[in-house]
Amino acid sequence: MSAAPPAPVFDVAVIGGGVVGAAVARELAGHHLSVVLVEARSDVGDGTSKANTGILHTGFDAGPGTLESRLVARGHALLSAYARETGIPVEYPGALLAARTAEESAALPALQAKAVANGYLRTELIGPDAVYGLVPALGPGVLGGLTVPDEAIICTWTTTLALARDARARGTVILLDHPVTAAVDTDGITTLRTPAGPVRTRWTVNAAGLGADRIDALFGHDRFTVTPRRGELLVFDKLARPLVDRIVLPVPTAVGKGVLVAPTVYGNVLLGPTAEDITDRTATGTTEDGLAFLLDKGAELMPRLLDEEVTAAYAGLRASVTGRDDYLIEADPDRRYVLVGGIRSTGLSASMAIAEHVRETLAASGLDLRERTDLPPPPAVPYLGETGIRPYQDGERIAADPAYGEIVCFCERVTAGEIRDACHAPLPARTPDGLRRRTRAMNGRCQGFFCGSAVERMLAGHTGGHGCTARCEPPADPAPPRPSRPSRTVREEKARGRGSSRPTR
């Protein structure tokens, strides 16, 4: 029997299929390079990227002069434009920092000065009457505020999906279920070992998020440690949305941005997150202590919100780097390797600018980059927001295809046509959670209690009952590479003294 041919050699392998990794792969695939995106999980955007607050930050409160400050500001502009091109839902309600103590009130001018130092000039200091004029439902005791008019809300799910689809359309090969366990360098080629087979590459970009320090160690480095920071959030029903028409931020502390109240592009209201440093990188379950903490904060921030029903509770893990207050993006030209580490909660906002910076870092390290002129147009992703027209509201679309008028998930108004499309699109849904992120199915008040069995039958019917595929090839004829539970009100839950143990959604 003849030996199997060696695996192809890619110009660049990007490890990590979250929003940053997808953005990097897309950016590099805009050049005459063969690119592979290597993801440990069974879907893109299935780790840190799926479970954040969905806020598109301006960077007004980042550390002046830091790489994070520069890239968040640039990323806000880039992602805003990209959302318009692809149909990613984004809204600009602005933000309000509400000071409740004399110490917080005294800190507001310094925050405004920090914004100016970061190049953001549109903040405004306002008094308590103006604060309550903007958000009447705030709890008593506010002493003043700072407005940030360009803070926005965005759909994190379709952001990652759009970037990954774009990368694929540009020729990137996407390998799912490929956790990297070793990196062996031989004659200028790095072999990334995975249980699903080797991946050979000339250059490697580590955008592995919570696992970035472990991948870094495979390349011979010991320069940082990721500490998972668990953030738990409560999702309130859409009936709560009139209470919150803008993002309400606390005055930030050294630990983080604190607990906020914010609308979502899906029509809900978020309360959270908590900030708990843990050791388990898989601990995405919610906790009784976390729920109790959020209830206390909610009673202080906006008591009326606690009269509304909770749709879900979820938790996400952020990749906090102990002792470091900035992104860590560094090249090792000898190993033909770039680390993209320390990307904290602002990673969504900065993702496209991080990708630009990685491209510049690779060029400065010796990678030959020649921009392509034959790029396909950006992909159109499913519109999951509440401010535009969804398929069930589109008469012309329903007339052309009645499946868009057949509602399957009544809480979120998701149709059979959308579920079908999500199962047959590039980077298709292969699991119920993947379908949630592409359609909002089972993500409403009943959390799939009513529609879950029907949705899962449709998913199995469209996918043949198979799990996710391990390899997502680029489309035909890409540009050739160079050789080589029912809800309860919070008041009811508080009276029962119970928290939620729902896993991340």
Please give the C-alpha separations between residue 17 and each of 92, 208, 211, 369, 434, in angstroms, as whole numbers.
Answer: 27, 8, 12, 22, 14
- Is 424 a known active-site residue? no
Beta bridge partners of 34: none
Where are the extended beta strands (E) located within 279-335?
Answer: 310-321, 328-332
Beta bridge partners of 174: 37, 472
Where are the extended beta strands (E) located within 221-294?
Answer: 226-236, 247-249, 260-263, 269-272, 276-277
Which tokens belong to 472? 């997502």
Kindly report whether the peptide bond that precedes residue 303 is cis, defined as omega within 30 degrees of 0: no
Q: What one-character-per-residue DSSP string does 444-468 give?
A: STTTTTTTHHHHHHHHHHHHTT---
For residues 146-177, b (16+ Cβ closer than 10 Å) or e, as one string?
A: bbbbbbbbbbbbbbbbbbbbbbbbbbbbbbbb
Please give the C-alpha separations between residue 451 and each of 197, 409, 445, in angstroms, as whole numbers.
Answer: 38, 6, 11
* DSSP structural state of residue 170: T
Cα–Cα distance between 262 and 469 in angstroms, integer? 36
Cα–Cα distance between 33 and 132 in angstroms, integer? 54
Q: Which residues contact 98 (CB under 8 A, 6 or more apart)?
A: 131, 135, 138, 142, 145, 248, 249, 250, 251, 301
Q: How many CB atoms lie within 10 A of CB 17?
A: 33
* Catalytic pick among 57, 76, 178, 462: 57
CB 383 within 8 A of CB 157: no
For residues 56-70, b (16+ Cβ closer than 10 Å) or e, as one string?
A: bbbbbbbeeeebbbb
> Which residues belong to the active site?
57
